[in-house]
Amino acid sequence: MENLINEEKYYYELLVDLLENGEISDSERNILNKRKEKYSISDSRASEIEEFAKQERLQNLKPQNDSETSYYELILDFIENGIVSESNRKILNKRLEKYGITEARAKELEYFAKQEYLESKKVKFESEEEKEYYDFIVDLMENGAISENSRKILDKRKIKFGISETRAKELEEFAKQNNSASSNDLLEEGKTYYNNGEYDKAIEIFKKAVELNPNEYLNWQWLGRSYYERYSDGDEENALNSLLKAVELNPNNDSNWYWLGISYGMNSQYDKEKESFLKATELNPNNADNWYKLGISYFNDKQYDKAIESFSKAVELNPNDDNNWDRLANSYQMNGQYDKAIETLLKAIEIDPNSRYYWFNLGILYYYNERYREAIDSLSKALELLNIEEEEDKEDFWDTDSSADYRYWLGRSYYMNEQCQEAINYLSKAVELNPDDYFNWYFLGSSYLDLKDYDNAVYSFNQCIKIDPNNEVVRDILQILQSSNGGVSLDGVVSGISKGIDTLNELSGKINPSTIGMVVGAAKLVGKFFGGSNKNK
């Protein structure tokens, strides 16, 4: 377009940038309207410039070599009603690799193919009267159908414009096909934005799809999913309403119930969440994800037997998903079946041996089964993986709490295994990383006491008192320590610590190992009624 003046060039360049994804979103349209007004460009002139920009973009998207041409022609063969099916998508992905075409270029070629497809579906009018009659059909059509009242209006226009019955039916059929194809095309476009994590754009597109075809349940389902993923103010209600509409339109689709359950959970309606996942498993009992989500609902409701049943089904259907094994292990743990929990968590580790969370949880399970050597090995592996992660991320590393917690549990396990010097090494680092944690100091003091390093033991227990001034057990320990120079036996100190540790073991054994890494601080506070060991001294 050679006759653009300066302001029109600026407008055109902005259009080219905004058309990179193929379409202009509502927010981008608002920007264009402001520029149009600023540059004093008329509506008709702006439309001309935009049409030129779109056509130029399409020309640039054309296949550039034989491989791209073959891929493009395959897309054209696969497009049905404006979309490519999942099975055909798999074939395209294989050809993508064969032809050496990048994913970005493949998207451009597919967009070009879809535009060509839509162009081929455009109605070829034989007269202005036919075009006007067709426009009336489009305006009067609702959800792909013409009401009785609208039909009477069309019949009058048909007679007025001299359009035959046969031609009128052809034009109406074109209108129905274009309505469906446009809706499907929007659905696929929205999915692309969704899969790229661009939820704002996805929501805009799915809204248009819903407006164009409000009776298509997939339009509502994907709109609800996008609201859920975006999770902004008001999105909880919008997601729920969209997914309720999807279920209303197709109550026999398990995916509708699955996402409705997720939405209910987001809205803290846990009974309805569970009911939705139950319905999803009834409709499609062969979907592992349905059972997984149902298991989580039962788990959160402390119905561990039913959680075990659900996660066992998920494992049966998809044994290669480590999350299924991990959740099953958590359920066994909370149900008091510790040996089964260990056996199951080891399956998760087989699948993902580099998960520090799994190794950490395994270490906790071994600890509460009094298998301290195995606890040390597992927790050491967890710390090794944590150190690697910390080194790779460096300044961006966020999980500093785990750095202290992993060392705390390693130190505690060494203490229980009667390796007090090793316990001191790890617990000293734990108090350095988290000096405000009562139990870091408590077990450090206990370890020093075992080694008869009374000065450091007194110092550590004094730190406990600073954190918890009203703790009578530690006060009693300190009193005995401070009077020990007068010949008082320290047996009472050791006995008191042992008793306290036994209590903490009993309490901590009920903590869910999957979340202990995040809430171990809170768990330790609960354990202020004390902590530690079945070890006799």
Long-range Cβ contact pairs of 45-53 (< 8 A, separation 24 or more): 45/8, 46/11, 49/1, 49/4, 49/8, 49/11, 49/12, 49/15, 50/15, 52/1, 52/12, 53/12, 53/15, 53/16, 53/19
- The confidence score (pLDDT) of residue 532 equals 36
Amino acid 172 reads E
Q: Is residue 144 part of a domain?
A: no
Given 85, 104, 120, the domain boundary residue is 120
Structure tokens given for 207? 């809204």
The SS3 assignment for 513 reads: coil
CA 86 to chain centre: 22
What is the rounded distance in angstroms from the CA atom of residue 175 to the CA atom of residue 183? 12
- Sequence-distant (6+) residues with CB within 8 A of 484 are 454, 490
CA 241 to chain centre: 20
Given 86, 120, 154, the domain boundary residue is 120
- The confidence score (pLDDT) of residue 520 equals 32
- Sequence-distant (6+) residues with CB within 8 A of 277 are 257, 258, 261, 290, 293, 294, 297
Which structural domain range is residue 410 located in?
400-529
- The confidence score (pLDDT) of residue 492 equals 46
Which residue's entry shows tokens 């009267």? Answer: 129
- Sequence-distant (6+) residues with CB within 8 A of 375 are 363, 364, 366, 367, 409, 413, 416
Q: The CATH number of the domain where 435 resides is what?
A: 1.25.40.10
End-to-end CA distance of the chain: 91
Q: Is residue 209 part of a domain?
A: no
Q: Is residue 64 part of a domain?
A: yes
Name residues of the chain where pLDDT drops below 70.
1-2, 20-23, 25-27, 80-83, 118-124, 142-144, 177-183, 393-400, 484-537
CB-count exposure of residue 34 (10 Å: 0-12, 13-18, 19+): exposed
DSSP-assigned states of every residue in 126-195: SSHHHHHHHHHHHHH-BTTB--HHHHHHHHHHHHHHT--HHHHHHHHHHHHHHHHHHHHHHHHHHHHHHH
Which residue's entry shows tokens 């009477």? Answer: 152
- Domain total of the chain: 2
What number of helices (H) and strands (E) belong to the chain?
A: 27, 0
Inter-residue contact 197 to 166 (CB < 8 Å): no
Structure tokens given for 49? 């410039």
Structure tokens given for 461? 């227990």
CA 204 to chain centre: 20
Q: Is residue 41 part of a domain?
A: yes
Give which of 82, 94, 109, 112 is closest to 190, Cα–Cα. Answer: 82
Which residue's entry shows tokens 């009920």? Answer: 510
- The confidence score (pLDDT) of residue 434 equals 93
What is the rounded distance in angstroms from the CA atom of residue 337 to the CA atom of residue 207? 49
Amino acid 249 reads L
The SS3 assignment for 80 reads: strand
Amino acid 490 reads L
Q: Is residue 60 part of a domain?
A: yes
Given 120, 135, 153, the domain boundary residue is 120
- The confidence score (pLDDT) of residue 484 equals 59
Q: Is residue 349 part of a domain?
A: no
pLDDT digits (tens, 9 = 90+) for 42-99: 888 888 888 888 778 777 778 889 998 998 889 888 876 556 777 788 888 888 888 8
Neighbours of 30 (CB within 10 A): 11
What is the rounded distance in angstroms from the CA atom of residue 181 to the CA atom of residue 130? 21
CA distances from 14 to 33, 43, 57, 111 (A): 11, 16, 13, 20
Strand partners, 80: 83
Inter-residue contact 218 to 191 (CB < 8 Å): no
Structure tokens given for 250? 């197709």
pLDDT digits (tens, 9 = 90+) for 459-472: 999 999 999 999 88
Torsion of Cα atoms, 231 then 25 then 218 then 290, to 10°: -30
User: How many residues are present in the chain?
Assistant: 537
Q: Is residue 216 part of a domain?
A: no
- CA angle (361, 308, 322) in 5-degree steps: 50
Q: Is residue 474 part of a domain?
A: yes
User: 254-266 vs 288-300: helix axis angle to the nearest 10?
Assistant: 30
What is the rounded distance in angstroms from the CA atom of residue 250 to the CA atom of residue 143? 16
With residues binned 3-state (H G I as helix, E B as strand, rest as coil), the percentages for the chain, rounded to 5, are 80, 0, 20
